[in-house]
Each structure stands twice: as structure tokens, then as C-alpha cells.
Amino acid sequence: MLEVCCLDKDNNIVEHLTQWDVDQYILIGDTGLIKAPAVHFCNTSSSEALVVSSTIEGDKIKAKIPNILLQDGLLIIAYLYVCDPSVSDISAKTKAEIRIPVRPRPKPSSYPYVGDVDYISPSSIEGKMTELLKNKVDKEDGKGLSSNDYTDLDKAEVANIKNKVDIIEGKSLSSNDFTDNYKGELDALAQNLAKKANITDVLTKTNAEEFAPTASYQPATKKYVDDQISTISIPVVDSLKSTSTTSALSANQGKLLNDSKVDKVEGKGLSTNDFTTKYKTQLDNLNENISETVANKVDKDSVLTKTNTDEYSPTSSYHPATKKYVDDLVSNAAGSGGGDMLRGIYDTDKSGVVDDSEKLGGRTPNYYIGVDDYVILDAGSATEVI
């Protein structure tokens, strides 16, 4: 037996229907139906039934009672009308008949119903059919509806197959993606390190330790410069070919620089390497080694390397100075003490006396008098020089 009750619009059970009520529903249980049937409503004076679509809520069927039928205080009859597609597309039958009494009462002055369509009319059926036809799929021989919905997500997954990697024996996907950013950081690290110099190979501009250069463009501290200038006693020999060790700055040191240099070879430079296992290991250990590596590096633009070739002048005692800077200061210091006194110019006869200091009026003493040309007179005697 069917279980039947009436509900208001808020799903509250009502004991009975009353004339002029609106938005009332019928709830039917124990129908044994798994699909919502159409429900046909009429009253004892109707010439045709009004068709209303139902819904399934849990194991019950729910359908709205047409407001137009509640305007009459007459018995309302509801028919469960079930289509059977297993027999034919048009096969249908009435499964049950339900009678619902309505208590009559006067019409309220504020009655809200104004003829809204709350049942299936021929025009609404036509509109529904038009909408369904727009969305239908034509039948094709050899094809049928899939038991599983082929969604946009499924389509996207299939499209991604082209991005898959074939399985290779002995290899598997990395647990970490070696992204462009990851590779860029590693490449940038190598470039940055190439711009760095080892702290032990440079003098910083705030250096406070003693260092003595051994080649022309190696840095020298201001203290080194001052000490070199203070010991100047002879002219500076400015020649990298000289082997003198008595000059203010030995040219032999320049020769050592020339002998120890590495010539540039055309077409050679830094090697380009594939991303090898060693390369990956360095990358994996990046976080552990970067602090120690960078801690032993300084920016090249803040130091003078021991192979520097750019001009630089110190401003504090222990700042580095180039050998060129030292050579220039020593040369100036040597030249400022006695002028340009070259023996080959001022002592041409190599007598040890400046040539002009031996003359009077540009002539030697012999020009003016000889030993036999004068006499020594006694005091008080009248003499005349002949």
C-alpha cells in the first residue's frame, strides 16, 4: 500500500488541504519506482488532467499540486502515470490513483495566485521538447552512449599523452624536477663564481696585512710604497730585461713575471659541459657548499688581483698600490734631489770635475798667465810687471 501525505512549500506535513491554499505538495512512498513518473491531477469537475513532473527524494516521489485545482473546494485526484521504455517509446500506464479531499472556504481578499503555470501544458511540453532536441545526440550504427561520461578533464588527460616519457629499463623519473629556473640558478652560480677571486689571491681595498709584489702590475700596499721611496739612493732602472738587484724595484722581478705568464690561445676558452652526474651532484650539494664557497670569494671590482693590469692609486697606508705606481713615485723622488746631472754631458773629459767649473769666462787659467810671467815682490819695493 502507498504511503501518502501532503506538504507545504517548507516541507511541513499538513493534515488536510484547504481551498485557496497555494504551493502544496503530495509525497508518495512505497511506489517501487526508481525513476520519477509524471503525476496527473484533476478534480471531480475536470474534463482533462493536468500533467506535473515529479522528483524522487530518497525513496519517495514528490509532486506539486496545481494551484488552479485548489481554487475549487472539490476532491482532487492524482494519478501516477509511468512510461515503460522497455515495451515501446509510447507505452505508459497508470500505476496508482490517489484521492485528496479539499475543505471548502471563502476566497481570501489577498489571494496571491494569478494564473502562473505550475503544471505541464501543451505549450510547455513543446518548449521542453525543443530544448531537448537541441541537446540530443543523433544515433549512429555501431555506436552507442558510453557507460562512462567522457568529460573535458578526460579529454585533457588524453591530450597530455604526447607529453609523456616512455619507460626505459633501468631509468625512472627524478624525484625532483630539474626546471629551467633550477638550471638557470646553477648556470648563474658558475658565472658569478667566474667573477670572483679567491681571498688569498687578492688585496682588498681595506687590507691591513703586509704584502710585497713581485711583478709590475701586482698590487702593493701604501706601506710598501713608502718604504721603497724612503730607501731611494740611486736612479730607478725601468727595464724588464735588466737583471739588476740594486734598483729601488728590481727589474728581475719583471722578468720573473714575463717568464711565468700564460699566453692566450686563439679559439680556446671555458669548456661547455653536458649536465653530467658530477654536475648534478654539485647542484644537489649546492645548499651545503654555497656558503663555504662564497665565504672564500670577494668581488673583483673591490680588490686588486695579484695579476692586475689596471691603474690604481692607494689613499691609505695599507691600501694596495701597483708596481707602476711605485715606479713612478720612485722615479719622481730620485729626479727631484739633484736635477738631471748626467756625467756624459757635464764631465765630458771624465776628470771628475764639471767642465765649466774649470774655466773663467769660458777660458782655462793657462790662457791668462803662466808661471814665468809674474814675479813675487818684497813688501815695500817698487815694482812693475813686465
Name the burial class of residue 358, with classes exposed (0-12), middle (13-18) and buried (19+) by CB atoms within 10 angstroms of its CB. Answer: exposed
Instruction: Give the model's pLDDT for residue 301.
Output: 80
How many angstroms separate the CA atoms of 11 and 60, rounded? 13
What is the tens place of the pLDDT at every residue in 343-370? 556 666 766 666 666 666 666 666 665 5
206 closest CA partner among 325, 300, 317, 310: 317
Instruction: Give the model's pLDDT for residue 88.
Output: 46
β partners of residue 100: 76
Count: domains in the chain: 2
β partners of residue 6: 14, 26
Instruction: Give the model's pLDDT for residue 201.
Output: 83
User: Long-range contacts for 283-286 (Cβ within 8 Å, ≥24 apart)?
Assistant: 283/182, 283/186, 286/185, 286/186, 286/189
User: What residue has cell string 803662466?
Assistant: 370
69 closest CA partner among 38, 90, 45: 45
How many angstroms separate the CA atoms of 53 and 70, rounded? 18
Domain contains 153: no
Domain contains 173: no
CA distances (Å), origin 262, targets 116, 120, 257, 303, 306: 100, 98, 10, 22, 14
The DSSP code sequence of 99-151 is EE-EE--PPPTT--------SB-HHHHHHHHHHHHHH-----TT----SS---
DSSP state of 251: H
Find the farthest-apart pair of alpha carbons in the chain and give their distance in angstroms, rounded: 192
Domain contains 138: no
User: What residue has cell string 663564481?
Assistant: 193
Instruction: Give the model's pLDDT for residue 151.
Output: 84
The answer for residues whose C-beta is within 8 angstroms of residue 333's C-beta and 6 or more apart is: 229, 232
Domain contains 156: no
The domain boundary, picked from 325, 344, 363, lies at: 344
Domain contains 384: no
What is the tens place of the pLDDT at every residue in 258-276? 777 767 778 775 556 677 8
Helix/strand/coil percentages in the chain, nearest 5: 30, 20, 50
End-to-end alpha carbon distance in the chain:
183
Phi, psi of 24 (to 5 degrees): -105, 150
Instruction: Give the model's pLDDT for residue 6.
Output: 94
The domain boundary, picked from 125, 142, 171, lies at: 125
Instruction: Give the model's pLDDT for residue 41.
Output: 94
Domain contains 322: yes
Instruction: Give helix then strand counts, H and E, for the chain.
Output: 9, 17
Instruction: Give the model's pLDDT for residue 167.
Output: 79
Question: 83-95 burial, b if ≥16 CB within 10 A, otherwise e?
Answer: eeeeeeeeeeeee
Residue numbers of the domain that contains 242: 198-260+289-344
The domain boundary, picked from 104, 125, 146, lies at: 125
Q: Which CATH number goes with the domain that contains 118?
A: 2.60.40
Instruction: Give the model's pLDDT for residue 77.
Output: 94
Domain contains 44: yes
DSSP state of 86: T
What residue ranges of the chain have pLDDT lower than 70?
A: 84-91, 113-128, 233-235, 237-238, 240, 246, 248-251, 253-254, 256, 262, 269-273, 287-293, 295, 334-348, 350-386
Q: Judge if 206 and 119 occupy the same domain.
A: no
pTM value surpassing 0.85:
no
Instruction: Give the model's pLDDT for residue 288.
Output: 64
Domain contains 333: yes
76 closest CA partner among 8, 16, 2, 1: 16
